[in-house]
């Protein structure tokens, strides 16, 4: 029997290895595990038990943070399947590259718009809708067992990552308005 430290994040929470997760189950299992292993429960334990508690807590936190978010969960699933993930969102897909340029231009237009708040809402809504669509498509692709499924999943991950970064930039613009 392997160490809990050698288990993948899904096994740690006794969940199926899948993109589509029941978030309530994930959160419940995370809280249950934290209740059992949190260092506060091991104040009077041996040094070794306290150290293991701290390590398990860190592993559990990292696993939960990874699995609770669609983008990081997709990245983790791709890595589990042997896909090398590069954080520089580049693509050979000309249509997506063109779309990136257009979205960047729109983001700049938002920064200089007379109605920044309205344009933020409009572009933010479009990006959020796009993310939801990408997540649904990615869910289907992760179920696909065809030879090119991992390549498709990687491409969708790259698109999600780009759109997420744009969303973050929109948030920064909005925060600067306050």
pLDDT at 123 (0 to 100): 93
- Percent composition of the chain: helix, strand, coil (DSSP 3-state, to 5): 75, 0, 25
pLDDT at 4 (0 to 100): 63
pLDDT at 65 (0 to 100): 97
> By the 8 A CB rule, do 130 and 71 touch?
no
Q: Is the pLDDT of residue 53 over 60?
A: yes
Q: Is the pLDDT of residue 173 over 70?
A: yes
The mean pLDDT value for 81-90 works out to 73
pLDDT bin (cut points 50, 70, 90) of residue 89 is low
What predicted TM-score, i.e. pTM, was given to this entire model?
0.85
The mean pLDDT value for 77-105 works out to 82
131: Cβ contacts below 8 Å, ≥ 6 apart: 70, 160, 163, 164, 167
pLDDT at 127 (0 to 100): 94
Q: Is the pLDDT of residue 177 over 90?
A: no
The mean pLDDT value for 78-101 works out to 79
pLDDT bin (cut points 50, 70, 90) of residue 92 is low
CATH topology for 94-177?
Monooxygenase (1.20.1280)
CATH topology for 4-68?
Helix Hairpins (1.10.287)
Gap between the Cα atoms of 70 and 157, Å rounded: 10
Per domain, the residue ranges of the chain are 4-68, 94-177
The mean pLDDT value for 55-74 works out to 96
146: Cβ contacts below 8 Å, ≥ 6 apart: none
CA-based Rg of the chain, rounded to a whole angstrom?
A: 20
139-167 tens-digit pLDDT: 999 999 898 999 899 999 999 999 999 99
Query: Quick check: do 4-68 and 94-177 share a fold?
Result: no
pLDDT bin (cut points 50, 70, 90) of residue 1 is very low
Lowest average pLDDT, out of 59-63, 87-91, 92-96, goes to 87-91
Specify the DSSP class assigned to residue 141: H
> By the 8 A CB rule, do 19 and 73 touch?
yes
């Amino acid at each position: 029997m392997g160490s809990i430290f050698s288990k993948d994040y899904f096994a740690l929470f006794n969940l199926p290895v899948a993109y589509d997760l029941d978030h309530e189950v994930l959160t419940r299992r995370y809280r249950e595990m934290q209740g059992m292993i949190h260092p506060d429960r091991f104040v009077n334990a041996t040094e070794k038990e306290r150290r293991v508690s701290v390590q398990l807590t860190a592993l559990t936190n990292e696993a939960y943070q990874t699995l609770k978010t669609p983008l990081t969960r997709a990245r983790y699933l791709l890595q589990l399947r042997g896909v090398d993930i590069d954080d520089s969102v580049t693509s050979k897909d000309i249509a997506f590259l063109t779309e990136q340029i257009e979205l960047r231009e729109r983001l700049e237009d938002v920064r200089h718009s007379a109605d920044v708040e309205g344009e933020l809402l409009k572009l933010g809504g479009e990006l959020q809708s796009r993310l939801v669509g990408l997540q649904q498509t990615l869910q289907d692709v992760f179920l696909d067992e065809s030879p090119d499924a991992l390549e498709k999943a990687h491409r969708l991950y790259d698109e999600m990552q780009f759109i997420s970064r744009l969303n973050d930039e929109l948030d920064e613009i909005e925060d600067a308005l306050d």
